[in-house]
Amino acid sequence: EPEVTQTPSHQVTQMGQEVILRCVPISNHLYFYWYRQILGQKVEFLVSFYNNEISEKSEIFDDQFSVERPDGSNFTLKIRSTKLEDSAMYFCASGQGVGTQYFGPGTRLLVL
């Protein structure tokens, strides 16, 4: 069964550094999402992407964040200058049509 994959599974970085989190959505899906979950807290929506542009974004998704679909298979989340509070699990999700989303296993980001 096709799955969303994410790399790396863990990332440790220094505050102020740039990180790129990578996702390979399910191949025939058209809708792409990033969510994050700070330890012990709820899953929070960051951004959604459709037709090569951002569809929705939350207040968390400020100018430090960007998303890109550089080719036909990858979907990336870049954090330009990481802060301590960016430490979280980041989940990528994709969907074939409107509605159901399929999530990847996540990238655990630790900012020191």
Partner 1 sequence: DAKTTQPPSMDCAEGRAANLPCNHSTISGNEYVYWYRQIHSQGPQYIIHGLKNNETNEMASLIITEDRKSSTLILPHATLRDTAVYYCIVSRISSGSARQLTFGSGTQLTVLP
Residues that bind partner 1 (CB under 8 A): 4, 31-33, 35, 37, 42-45, 48-51, 55-56, 58, 89, 91, 93, 95, 98-106, 108
Minimum CB distance to partner 1, residue 15 (Å): 23
Is the CB of residue 24 less than 8 Å from the CB of residue 74?
Answer: yes
Minimum CB distance to partner 1, residue 87 (Å): 13
Under DSSP, the state recorded for 105 is -
Please report which helix (H) or strand (E) contains residue 19, including its range.
Answer: strand 19-24
Complex with partner 1: residue 74 or 81, whichever CB lies closer: 74
Complex with partner 1: residue 55 or 81, whichever CB lies closer: 55
Minimum CB distance to partner 1, residue 16 (Å): 26
Q: Which residues pair with 90 in a beta bridge?
A: 36, 107
Complex with partner 1: residue 10 or 18, whichever CB lies closer: 10
Complex with partner 1: residue 82 or 95, whichever CB lies closer: 95
Q: Quote the CA–CA distance of 47 and 66 in Å, as a whole number.
A: 9
Q: Quote the CA–CA distance of 112 and 98 in Å, as a whole number.
A: 38
Type of residue at 26: I
Minimum CB distance to partner 1, residue 42 (Å): 5
